[in-house]
Amino acid sequence: MEYPQESFNATTFAPDSFWARRRQVVRSQTLRHQLQMLKETGRYDAFKLKWHPSYSDPCAVWPVPNHLFWDSDVAKWIEGACYLLMDYPDEEIDAAIRELVGMIQSAQQPDGYLNIHYTVVEPEKRFTNLRDMHELYNAGHLVEAALAHRLLYKNDELLRPILKYVALLAATFGNQEGQKAGYPGHPEIELALLRLYKVTRDPEHLHLARFFLEERGNPSGGKERRHYYDVEAEARGERKNEVPESYPAPRSYWYQQAHVPITQQQTIEGHAVRAMYLLTSVADLVRISEPSSDVANKFLPALHRLWGNMIEKKAYVTGGIGAMKKWEGFGIDYFLPHGTDEGGCYAETCAAIGVMMLAERLLQIELSSHYADILELCLYNAVLTGMSLDGKGFTYVNQLASSEEDLSQRYEWFKCACCPPNVTRTLGCLGGYVWSWKVDNETRKATVNVHLYTSATLRFQVADSRVEITQKTQWPWHGDVSFLVNIDGPPVNLDLRLRIPGWASTWEVIPQPSQPDLRDGYLYLPSDWIQQHLEFRLSCPMRPRVVRPHPLTMQPVAYVTRGPIVYCVEDVDNSWENDHFKVGCHIPQGEEESRS
Amino acid sequence: MEYPQESFNATTFAPDSFWARRRQVVRSQTLRHQLQMLKETGRYDAFKLKWHPSYSDPCAVWPVPNHLFWDSDVAKWIEGACYLLMDYPDEEIDAAIRELVGMIQSAQQPDGYLNIHYTVVEPEKRFTNLRDMHELYNAGHLVEAALAHRLLYKNDELLRPILKYVALLAATFGNQEGQKAGYPGHPEIELALLRLYKVTRDPEHLHLARFFLEERGNPSGGKERRHYYDVEAEARGERKNEVPESYPAPRSYWYQQAHVPITQQQTIEGHAVRAMYLLTSVADLVRISEPSSDVANKFLPALHRLWGNMIEKKAYVTGGIGAMKKWEGFGIDYFLPHGTDEGGCYAETCAAIGVMMLAERLLQIELSSHYADILELCLYNAVLTGMSLDGKGFTYVNQLASSEEDLSQRYEWFKCACCPPNVTRTLGCLGGYVWSWKVDNETRKATVNVHLYTSATLRFQVADSRVEITQKTQWPWHGDVSFLVNIDGPPVNLDLRLRIPGWASTWEVIPQPSQPDLRDGYLYLPSDWIQQHLEFRLSCPMRPRVVRPHPLTMQPVAYVTRGPIVYCVEDVDNSWENDHFKVGCHIPQGEEESRS
């Protein structure tokens, strides 16, 4: 199971677990709430290709029309809904998915093209502004929605039109005569194509993803031997100082991580979500390439370098990334103010989801608790915080300090509504982040890497045996985790690897292995030990810790953390705060009581 | 004597004083060096109106041609040279001034127009881009040069053509039919017109300055009832997102302090030099208006508010202002990083000169040592530091922390060379900042406010008596100042007011006045006391102090200060540093020895 978006299905959260309860809220409240938002704002019906009055609104962020992301909002909701309906059938949601799929099918143009804006508003301008216009980003989310839809419905009703669209993209983009040597301003299609390739094994899908990644930032690309965004801008008649509002200066292509080829990028720059989606696809391409292949040799050092720069110098204590509001992204090294009144702490929810996605891909390349620690940090402190307890309020910006002028508040929806359905789909397939595993049916061997702790059961088949691994814990409030392994059928060689969190100053496994084998922060429990200890316990005592930011951040503050959680100090008397940041940062009331 | 640019002439620095020695370097080295730079770069001959190859160079900061400031570079050098030649005749400099004046005369167009760029390069585009193009800024500096020239040469050879140009401006700009309701993107003409008005008493000059100040930022100006910069941009065919490189976003008119009328501006924003020049003229307009006039009532609160915001929340410990490189100006409150690697510390030399100019005007409105303290702070720590000991190296940016990537270095000249001649002219008329005074010949009364301490003599006439006030001190190294008053002729009622610096935790006057009268940081010594004590001494012991920035700046640093000086810690082994920041920050070797 190579992608959490597929593998989540093998995990069942215990009904009283922290995450089962959050996912239950998403299923019962969030999906409905977001469906209502899609309907109220016009997104739901947009694939009917009728004019919507808002299409004439001035751009909030020039040159990007406000409705440009509508395709992706719908797609991400479908994707999340499909994940959640695997566990919880729901007639109303099911009916909406079916209706949306029908509308998407009917919106497809004869040649396969499938995009709301460029069919209804500017049909003559298809693919003339890859830099700004999110066409390929929307396409990527449609691909991901189609893959999720196929998983739930086990049919190709959505995948079929999407494959036709992808075929058009593959014909349009590339280095061949008559093709455009361009690549998306907002990455997403790349990671979607790689997921698609896993299903289709169509070399065209792999080829197109790789083209986008290798061509990106080429200073002498295409026939003209120039930067594609320059060529494209000139063809549009754009003037040299006509600058997208997210750019601090003309040709700030680092905003899109396209200032130089990816392999030459020394520091992580620009729009944080784009950077994460891009590097997720780079990591995935490396993952499926031979370890010493050209692809791995050139991209892996860049991945290490950019991840390292980000985590060491451009990430908040919560795992949030991207201080700068103007370009929703990274500032200079160590520029990590806490609030708008200090210069910004944008830390977009989607960016933290992107860190989780990237960390998960990197864990597949090299099993190191460093990646899983960051993944868990983001999950509790920068992603979960993006949704309110009732599942109907969302953050986009996640300042660490609220100010009167710019309150930390949750909203029911956004004009650019990327974050809310992104949280939905992330929690939808959360089980896939808990553990990863490999099975060799011939040798009857299986290896399970446990990345996150929560009460849940993983079930998979090894040849004719059924393996069941159950963990029970009150994580993130208690650091004790009981494991129970059950193999139904002939014996299986089951290796287990348990992540030992970086914050755990002490830990133990009971019964104690005679020679604990700890590598890169994972405790390797070999199959013979497991066979003798089908029940065992991991204990990582959670002691409150005071953490300080790097001195070069110039932040004279201290954070109180315990286990994976960074605590938030807030005043219940804040008159404006109806929705205290309890989850993730605060211990929900019920939990706190159960602990005392 | 209402302006330091005139009154300086009444002050003679003692030859061994700190400032006489600095001014001697400027006279003997800087004037020549800068003249050479003017010649080498093409500026000297530019008023000949021949094409210069650099006129075709691409803009360093779009849309501003690199040579656009050449008029002002020449004008500021003339201004500074004229001040210095009052004390030190110099044939070579004198000849250059005469030649330049001749060239300026000959460059004037029949209608009075006088600008290099818009005569040679784009003659058809006069006054079509007040927002960006520095036409009126250049005009203002020509006015100031002409006033300085008149002071030295006692003729109108430069003033005559300039008055003709000003007449053209007065006809062009205003709210009458057929006039342009515009105002300069870079203020300067306003303060120059007010200085000019003092000389000419031509109501048109006052009227034009006032129009520029009152119209600025009007959202519904002119016939079109819209913001002038919008109207003008549209007329040029500029597109909505064609953005000057200094703007972070379209229509960032706060860059020019033109986002709303001055009276409505709540915080100090945008380009720091523009803000200072603008407020200097506002203060001067208030100064010459009746205390309860409309002008005073509306502008004085804005002055207090903007000065307060700047000094409390947007100024460095040195008096430097403007952290943001992109717009050479103010960031958000308390955003005061020390170096480029922390987000910037632009602190342009000209901006600190602007603070001095503004503080001096404010002192004329209300005598408070707060203004003089800031004036002195800037002079030693943010202006004097802008020139090397040898008078031939200059800073433009004044970071408080040097980094390998962006060294703190002095340069012999700049493409945009505003700072070097600005230091020249400031030191040229420095005597005018030392004290201000008023004379009433009828009542034989004079009042002298002593703002700065240095070894110098002030001489002026009261009716038929000659007043001479001499101070002797080793300031800024020693806090003792001896005063000697000498009145040659019939008695004069002389009131003296001595600034008691804010940093002076103790101070005394010897002999001690029986009831010291301290008001707003000035010690009032009445004429009867002076009559009895023609010799007295002020002592302000200079104790080293450790100063910390406001906690909200998030700067975990401490500064060592003593007297008016903020000390600089630097490594003499820095291989790149040939010109250690000795003056102002460091004690020059000779001085240090003389103290021990």
In this structure, what CATH number is given to the domain that contains residue A447?
2.60.420
Tens of pLDDT, residue by residue, chain A (596 residues)? 699 999 999 999 999 999 999 999 999 999 999 999 999 999 999 999 999 999 999 999 999 999 999 999 999 999 999 999 998 899 999 999 999 999 999 999 999 999 999 999 999 999 999 999 999 999 999 999 999 999 999 999 999 999 999 999 999 999 999 999 999 999 999 999 999 999 999 999 999 999 999 999 999 999 999 999 999 999 999 999 999 999 999 999 999 999 999 999 999 999 999 999 999 999 999 999 999 999 999 999 999 999 999 999 999 999 999 999 999 999 999 999 998 888 889 999 999 999 999 999 999 999 999 999 999 999 999 999 999 999 999 999 999 988 777 888 899 999 999 999 999 999 999 999 999 999 999 999 999 999 999 999 999 999 999 999 999 999 999 999 999 999 999 999 999 999 999 999 999 999 999 999 999 999 999 999 999 999 999 999 999 999 999 988 888 889 999 999 999 876 665 666 666 554 333 333 333 333 33
Give the single-character DSSP code of B489.
S
A-chain residues near B242 (CB < 8 A): 239, 241-243
Quote the number of domains for chain B.
2
Q: What is the predicted pLDDT for the residue at B402?
A: 82
In DSSP terms, which residues pair with A460 in a beta bridge?
A: A467
Q: How far apart are CA A259 and CA A88, in angstroms?
A: 45
In a domain, B55, yes or no: yes
Average pLDDT of the residues in B526-552: 96
Q: What is the predicted pLDDT for the residue at B571?
A: 62
Q: How far apart are CA A572 and CA A220, in angstroms?
A: 57
- Closest residue to A554, CB basis, from B245, B326, B554: B554
Nearest chain B residue to A325, by CA: B248
Q: What is the predicted pLDDT for the residue at A555?
A: 85
Q: How far apart are CA A277 and CA A350, in angstroms?
A: 10
Q: How far apart are CA A228 and CA A234, in angstroms?
A: 10
- Closest residue to A343, CB basis, from B241, B249, B335: B335
Task: Choose among B351, B399, B418, B409: nearest CA to B378.
Answer: B351
A-chain residues near B249 (CB < 8 A): 245, 326
Q: Among B186, B212, B241, which residue terminates a domain? A: B241
B65 at A interface, C-beta within 8 A: no
- Closest residue to A335, CB basis, from B239, B343, B556: B343
For the stretch A438-495, pLDDT in tens is 999 999 999 999 999 999 999 999 999 999 999 999 999 999 999 999 999 999 999 9
In a domain, B19, yes or no: no
Q: Beta A456-462 vs A465-473: how paired, if at all?
A: antiparallel
In a domain, A70, yes or no: yes
- Closest residue to A239, CB basis, from B239, B335, B341: B239
Tell me the nearest-neighbour CA distance from A248 into chain B, angstroms: 6
Q: What is the predicted pLDDT for the residue at A234?
A: 97
Contact call for A245 and B244, based on CB within 8 A: no
Average pLDDT of the residues in B266-278: 98
Contact call for B343 and A326, based on CB within 8 A: no
Tell me the nearest-neighbour CA distance from A311 into chain B, angstroms: 18
Q: What is the predicted pLDDT for the residue at A405?
A: 77
Per-residue pLDDT at B592 exceeds 50: no
Q: What is the predicted pLDDT for the residue at A579?
A: 60
Q: What is the predicted pLDDT for the residue at B1?
A: 66
Q: What is the predicted pLDDT for the residue at A108?
A: 98
Looking at A511-587, which runs of residues are DSSP E strands? Answer: 517-519, 522-525, 535-539, 545-547, 559-562, 565-566
Q: What is the predicted pLDDT for the residue at A407?
A: 83
Contact call for A241 and B245, based on CB within 8 A: yes
Contact call for A241 and B62, based on CB within 8 A: yes
To the nearest whole number, what is the mean pLDDT of chain A?
94
Q: What is the predicted pLDDT for the residue at A571?
A: 62
Contact call for B335 and A326, based on CB within 8 A: no
Q: What is the predicted pLDDT for the residue at B139?
A: 98
B331 at A interface, C-beta within 8 A: yes
Tell me the nearest-neighbour CA distance from B258 into chain A, angstroms: 20
Tell me the nearest-neighbour CA distance from B570 into chain A, angstroms: 19
- When pLDDT is cut at 50, 70 and 90, the band that residue B595 belongs to is very low
Nearest chain B residue to A552, by CA: B342
- Other CB atoms within a 10 A radius of the CB of residue B476 amount to 22
Which residues, in sequence order, are CB contacts of B577 under 8 Å at separation 6+? B407, B408, B409, B570, B571
Average pLDDT of the residues in B322-331: 96
In a domain, A133, yes or no: yes
- Residue A508's H or E segment, with its range, is strand A508-510
Q: What is the predicted pLDDT for the residue at B581?
A: 52
In a domain, B515, yes or no: yes
Contact call for B243 and A241, based on CB within 8 A: yes
Q: Are B347 and B328 in contact (CB under 8 A)?
A: no
Which residues, in sequence order, are CB contacts of B247 under 8 Å at separation 6+? B255, B327
A555 at B interface, C-beta within 8 A: yes
Q: Among B495, B515, B539, which residue terminates a domain? A: B539
3-class secondary-structure state, position B559: strand
Q: How far apart are CA A244 and CA B249, in angstroms?
A: 9
Q: Are B347 and B427 in contact (CB under 8 A)?
A: no
B48 at A interface, C-beta within 8 A: no
To the nearest whole number, what is the mean pLDDT of chain B?
94
Report the residue count for chain B. 596
In a domain, B33, yes or no: no
In a domain, A51, yes or no: yes
Percent of chain B scoring above 70 in pLDDT: 95
Tell me the nearest-neighbour CA distance from A399 into chain B, angstroms: 16
Print the domain residue range for A93.
42-241
Q: How far apart are CA A205 and CA A400, in angstroms?
A: 41
In a domain, A188, yes or no: yes
- Other CB atoms within a 10 A radius of the CB of residue B566 amount to 24
Q: What is the predicted pLDDT for the residue at A593?
A: 32
B341 at A interface, C-beta within 8 A: yes
- Please give the single-letter amino acid code of residue B201: R
In angstroms, the Cα distances linking B6 to A218, B1, B148, B149, B440 are 60, 7, 8, 11, 18
Q: How far apart are CA A396 and CA B114, in angstroms?
A: 54
Q: Which position has the token pair 């009716």?
A: B463
Q: What is the predicted pLDDT for the residue at A596?
A: 30
Percent of chain B scoring above 90 in pLDDT: 91
Q: Which position has the token pair 């109303």?
A: A92
Write out A78-142 in H/E/C secondary structure: HHHHHHHHHHCCCHHHHHHHHHHHHHHHHHCCCCCCCCCHHHHCCHHHCCCCCCCCCHHHHHHHH
Q: What is the DSSP string of A390-447?
A: TS--B-SS--SS-BTTB----BS--SS--HHHHHHHHHHTTHHHHEEEEEETTTTEEE
For the stretch B358-407, pLDDT in tens is 999 999 999 999 999 999 999 999 999 999 999 999 999 999 988 777 88
Q: Among A539, A556, A589, which residue terminates a domain? A: A539
Contact call for B342 and A554, based on CB within 8 A: yes
B406 at A interface, C-beta within 8 A: no
Task: Choose among A396, A484, A399, A469: nearest CA to A434.
Answer: A469
Task: Choose among A244, A588, A238, A280: nearest CA to A426.
Answer: A280
Alpha-carbon radius of gyration of chain B: 24
- Residue B461's H or E segment, with its range, is strand B456-462
Q: Are B455 and B473 in contact (CB under 8 A)?
A: yes
In angstroms, the Cα distances linking B105 to B29, B47, B121, B160, B499 are 28, 9, 19, 9, 44
Q: How far apart are CA B319 and CA B385, in angstroms?
A: 12
Task: Choose among A76, A57, A55, A73: nearest CA to A123.
Answer: A55
Which residues, in sequence order, are CB contacts of A106 under 8 Å at separation 6+? A47, A48
Task: Choose among A318, A298, A462: nearest CA to A379.
Answer: A318
Tokens of B485: 């008053």
3-class secondary-structure state, position B62: coil
